[in-house]
Amino acid sequence: MRGSRRLLLGAFAMTAALPCLAADIAFSSVTDFTQMSLQLRTADNANPQSIGLQVTLAPEARRRLAQVTRQAMHQPLRLVINGVLVSTATIQAVVEGPGLMISVPRDIARDLVPTLLEPSTP
């Protein structure tokens, strides 16, 4: 009986933890971004340890982002671009785009920026 009670408590604990799991949104710069630009430095940059990646989302990417942020409200959202984990933030509102300004820590930008330079497929 004690073993089954522990198993049951473990199952409840795992179930309770499920809503806290982070949601993921993964973008490909080739297919999901119609425009993008990097902001490496500004005079009034509040966070000099990051760069700004401004993107305009393609319609399908906008739909996916809105759906994920709607379904995972107040949960962490992991943002992945070209296979690189860029950031994790708590969803406070439905994000519908089309434009996004993404703050990318400089150490992550070293891995991300070369992937943004890949030529788009015709």
Could you report the per-residue pLDDT of 13-40, keeping only the tens digit for each? 444 444 556 799 999 999 999 999 998 8
Q: Which domains does the chain have, with CATH numbers?
A: 21-116 (3.30.1360.200)
3-state secondary structure of 75: coil
Identify whether the C-beta of residue 90 lies closer than 8 Å to the C-beta of residue 23. Answer: no
pLDDT(42) > 90: no
Q: What's this model's pTM, rounded to 2 decimal places?
A: 0.76
Q: How confident is the model at residue 113 (pLDDT cuts 50, 70, 90)?
A: very high
Give pLDDT, residue 121: 55
Nearest-5° Cα angle at 45, 81 to 35: 35
Burial class (CB in 10 A: 0-12, 13-18, 19+), 87: middle
Give pLDDT, residue 117: 87
Give pLDDT, residue 1: 44
What is the per-residue pLDDT across 52-97, written as a single tens digit (0 to 9) for each? 999 999 999 999 999 999 999 999 999 999 999 999 999 999 998 7
Give pLDDT, residue 14: 42
Give pLDDT, residue 55: 95
